[in-house]
Structure 1
Amino acid sequence: MGGRNWLILGILACLIAFSSARELKVREDNKLAVYNHTLGTILVEYASAVYLSDLTELFTWTCPRCDGLTAGFEVIDLVVDVQHCLQAFVGVARDPNAIVIAFRGTQEHSIQNWIEDLFWKQLDLNYPGMPDAMVHHGFYFAYHNTTLRPAILNAVKQAKEIYGDIDIMATGHSMGGAMAAFCGLDLTVNHEAKNVQVMTFGQPRIGNAAFASYYRQLVPNTIRVTNDHDIVPHLPPYYSYFPQKTYHHFPREVWLYNIGLESLVYEVEKICDKSGEDPTCSRSVTGNSISDHLVYYGVELMCETWRSCRIVSDPLVAEYGKTDLQGNLILSKDPATPILKMKTQSSEGSNHI
């Protein structure tokens, strides 16, 4: 009996070693995105602006965060899924000359509660059309099964009819980064877009190694920016065994971290390897910081205040909006029309949801 137990343990050890070796090999059949610092500093401003709850300021692009590197942006669709507390916009940017899609991250009473929940996320959905690829249904559902997807796809179609075959850039922070990744994959696989770029900030893991391999091949022009000890890119947890049951980041990561002595501090931008789980990048440190999660490139990525889902709208934008039976709202305009110039009325004339 003792000899049989040793044999079983030996077989299990071999299986574990084999699983580990497979898990670390993400296919490298094509080139990865080239990191562009300037593009990162532009897209992070869109990822910041989408957190704002004043829909009039967002729709007219007159919000306090709608200036600087994003000045002149024209919003086509602004979507709020009130049921699931999700928000996104689609528009056209002058620099870079591209359609930009931005997704808001989590808006909860406490971001710490959301982070704690990430520890227990399980791979429980087979990604359609990708053998062995698994993702978490919550991340998948947030993009594919809410008000966001149809509105975004329609806005992209409209923009391309007016502006031609320009680039499409999807971005988002935290949970918004996960949705941006699914959006980039959806546009590429299901809508035959050839010029899709994805750049996310502080994105959690969303699938296993098989999913990461497919994603890398299909959306190679993808950058995941991580910041120092940001806790969220470390979640859900990564394990080196059992590839079908552990989460695995897709490449390419760019890790921002500080080095220095006393008053001399420099921010370093490290271009990581093609594995998606480079042990010399963010995985080389403990992911234990919420504050590192909320600021990238010096830009705040959070709501004005942490509270339950809330939006503020102005009667002047009502003619551009439609609401379904669940209260979900889409503000939409013709992309051929010059950017709207509206005066925001006082808070007395505003509607709060």
Structure 2
Amino acid sequence: MERQTCLILVIFTCLIASFCGRELQVKHNHKVAVYNHTLATILVEYASAVYVSDLTELFTWTCERCNGLTKGFEVIELVVDIENCLQAFVGVAKDLNAVVISFRGTQESSIQNWIEDLYWKQLDLHYPGMPDAMVHYGFYSAYHNTTIRHGILHAVKEAREFYGDLNIMVTGHSMGGAMASFCALDLTVNHEAKNVQVMTFGQPRIGNAAFASYYAKLVPNTIRVTNDHDIVPHLPPYYTYFPQKTYHHFPREVWLYNLGLGSMVYRVEKVCDGSGEDPTCSRSVRGNSVIDHLSYYGVDLKCQEWRSCRIVMDPRVSEYGKTDLKGNFILSRAPATSVLKTNTLSNGEEVKASA
């Protein structure tokens, strides 16, 4: 009897040890992304501009958010998935010598519901060609199974055929950051792009540790910027005691936070370790702030006004557009060609997407 009891205890101890083991470490090669503050302040403006709902101003790059460090950007293609309330653009930034791709995040009007939903998400899709790698179906599908992917790939091809072998920079905020990551992986794995760089802002976790390891190896030039107590980088939740089943960030994180008190407050930009889950970075604080999620480097990452997935477009830009049977459309032009320039709408039309 004693022997049987001891055997049960040993088995129970082994089971506990297997569940409560150390956190899985992300395997990555020796290439690591180098954080560049100046580049971050440029790319965050592209991540902000994609929230503009006036498609005429965005397509012609005359919007208020198109006037700072991104001035002179040439939009090649603007993709709008009305059905799923998604938006992205591709263009050429000559000062960066790069094709820039930017994805819009979740509309702030629905962000609270989206955050609550993420608390219950499970890993639910095996990533193709990556044994044991699992990802979030919703984020994967938003890029792979909508109008977005086809439009992005077509525009990248057009830009690089005209301008040559430019670098590719992919950015996005919130859910847009998740889509940017899947896009960068797609370009690298399926389209043999060699010079893809990623910088996202307030991105959620999108896969497990196995996926994070593959991603770190294939797209090493990736920076995830997180801001202070931003709630979204903490989602879906990380469960230390279930390392095989939990979501896991890929590297490299740069954590922005304030140090000091009163008038003596300094902004710190901490480059974190290569694990993707550095316990001294954003995981060291409670992720409980939506406000910290909506502004990075002093730049608003949200729509200028609440429109519940509505967009506005001047009928005069329709000559640049193609629409499918579901109402999704792409505005595109050949690289280096002139395009309508206007700062005011004439008989503007409003289109409502599904919320």
Q: Judge conservation of contact 1:321–1:329 (CA < 8 Å) in 2.
A: yes
Measure the CA separation in 2 of the matches of 1:97 and 1:237: 38
The residue number in structure 2 matching 1:350 is: 349
1:250-289 map, 5 Å: 250-289=250-289
- Aligned length in residues: 349
Q: What SS is found at the alignment partner of 2:39?
A: helix
The residue number in structure 1 matching 2:233 is: 233
> Displacement of 1:348 after TM fit?
3.2
1:332-343 map, 5 Å: 332-338=332-338, 340-343=339-342
Q: What SS is found at the alignment partner of 1:69?
A: coil
Q: Judge conservation of contact 2:317–2:340 (CA < 8 Å) in 1.
A: no
The residue number in structure 2 matching 1:8 is: 11
Measure the CA separation in 1 of the matches of 2:272 and 2:240: 18
Measure the CA separation in 2 of the matches of 1:27 and 1:51: 35
Tell which deviates more after alignment, 147-156 or 343-352: 343-352
| 1:87-142 deviations in Å (ceiling 9; x for gaps) | 00000002211000000001253311111111111101000000000001101000
The residue number in structure 1 matching 2:77 is: 77
Q: Give me the TM-score of the superposition, normalised by structure 1.
A: 0.96
> Displacement of 1:307 after TM fit?
4.2
Q: Judge conservation of contact 2:48–2:302 (CA < 8 Å) in 1.
A: yes
1:123-138 map, 5 Å: 123-138=123-138
Q: Judge conservation of contact 1:316–1:342 (CA < 8 Å) in 2.
A: no
> Displacement of 1:34 after TM fit?
0.3
Q: Judge conservation of contact 2:57–2:342 (CA < 8 Å) in 1.
A: no
Q: Judge conservation of contact 2:74–2:92 (CA < 8 Å) in 1.
A: yes
1:103 and 2:106 aligned: no
Measure the CA separation in 2 of the matches of 1:60 and 1:131: 44
Q: What SS is found at the alignment partner of 2:310?
A: coil
Tell which deviates more after alignment, 116-125 or 173-182: 116-125
Measure the CA separation in 1 of the matches of 2:351 and 2:328: 13
Measure the CA separation in 2 of the matches of 1:30 and 1:217: 9
Measure the CA separation in 2 of the matches of 1:94 and 1:244: 43
Q: Judge conservation of contact 1:227–1:292 (CA < 8 Å) in 2.
A: yes
Residue identity opposite 2:12 in structure 1: L
Q: Judge conservation of contact 2:312–2:348 (CA < 8 Å) in 1.
A: no
The verdict on how the C-alpha distance between 1:350 and 1:251 changes in structure 2, with shifts beyond 3 A counting, is: same
Measure the CA separation in 1 of the matches of 2:303 and 2:89: 16
Which stretches in structure 2 are left out of the alignment for 5+ residues? none
Measure the CA separation in 2 of the matches of 1:79 and 1:110: 21
Residue identity opposite 1:14 in structure 2: A
Residue identity opposite 1:350 in structure 2: E
Measure the CA separation in 1 of the matches of 2:212 and 2:18: 21
Q: Judge conservation of contact 2:107–2:303 (CA < 8 Å) in 1.
A: yes
Q: Judge conservation of contact 1:108–1:114 (CA < 8 Å) in 2.
A: no
Q: Judge conservation of contact 2:310–2:350 (CA < 8 Å) in 1.
A: no
> Displacement of 1:308 after TM fit?
2.1
> Displacement of 1:344 after TM fit?
4.5
The residue number in structure 1 matching 2:89 is: 89
Measure the CA separation in 1 of the matches of 2:327 and 2:110: 24
Q: Judge conservation of contact 1:26–1:212 (CA < 8 Å) in 2.
A: yes
Q: Judge conservation of contact 2:108–2:303 (CA < 8 Å) in 1.
A: no
Which stretches in structure 1 are left out of the alignment for 5+ residues? none
> Displacement of 1:36 after TM fit?
0.3
Residue identity opposite 1:352 in structure 2: V
1:1-353 map, 5 Å: 2-17=5-20, 20-21=21-22, 23-107=23-107, 109-338=109-338, 340-346=339-345, 348-353=347-352
> Displacement of 1:10 after TM fit?
1.2
> Displacement of 1:315 after TM fit?
1.2
Measure the CA separation in 1 of the matches of 2:144 and 2:128: 12
Measure the CA separation in 2 of the matches of 1:299 and 1:345: 24
Q: What SS is found at the alignment partner of 1:68?
A: coil
